[in-house]
Amino acid sequence: MDNRQAIGSWLSGPRAAAEDAGVDFGYRGEQLGLPEEGPGSIARPGRRIGAIAVDWGLCMLIAYGLFARGDMQAMGNWALGILFVMSVLTVGTVGCTPGKALFRLRVIAEGGGRLGLGRVVIRSVLLCIAIPALIWDRDGRGLHDRLARAVQIRV
């Protein structure tokens, strides 16, 4: 391996270097028994980011209208609390938040079906902390989904 290949493998990341060496990771969601494309497949990052942006905007709008008309810090804190409540209520009952519904996503348990209330609460707390949602596994699931044994899929 010359310097150019070594630098190229470093820039493209360990997964690309391993794939170049012949390791087959399969597609996202294969280990979970999900299809590669179409309904039931793992939700792509762009849709998930769009969904959380819609949910956060909705929570900020509610917080602004109900609680904190002038204080931006208070409005952000209220919006975080509203996001938690909205996530627990909507994911725990219908399996998706308004943003996820708009982007045609759903949160299910790893084995299929709905998440139980305890797992929804764990997922929502970790989502509000934000850092676990930014750490993804090789299937593209955030740490908050992995710890709650949940999967975001396309509908």
| Percentage of residues in the chain having pLDDT higher than 70 | 83
**Neighbour tally for 131: CB within 10 Å:** 10
Residue entry with tokens 């709008």: 61
Tokens of 143: 């740490």
Q: Is pTM beyond 0.95 here?
A: no
Q: pLDDT category, 16, cuts 50, 70, 90?
A: low
User: Averaged over 8-22, what is the pLDDT?
Assistant: 62
Ranges of each domain in the chain: 27-154
Q: What was the pLDDT predicted at 79?
A: 93
Q: Report strand pairing: 150-154 vs 105-109.
A: antiparallel
3-state SS track over the chain: CCHHHHHHHHHHCHHHHHHHCCCCCCCCCHHHCCCCCCCCCECCHHHHHHHHHHHHHHHHHHHHHHCCCCCHHHHHHHHHHHHHHHHHHHHHHCCCCHHHHHCCEEEEECCCCCCCHHHHHHHHHHHHHCHHHHCECCCCCEHHHHHCCEEEEEC
Q: What was the pLDDT predicted at 96?
A: 96
Q: pLDDT category, 132, cuts 50, 70, 90?
A: confident
pLDDT tens, 29-86?
A: 878 888 888 898 899 989 999 999 999 999 999 998 887 667 788 888 899 999 999 9
Residue entry with tokens 């676990």: 132
Question: Higher pLDDT residue, 66 or 118?
Answer: 118
User: Averaged over 109-131, what is the pLDDT?
Assistant: 92
Q: pLDDT category, 137, cuts 50, 70, 90?
A: confident
- Single-letter amino acid, residue 138: R
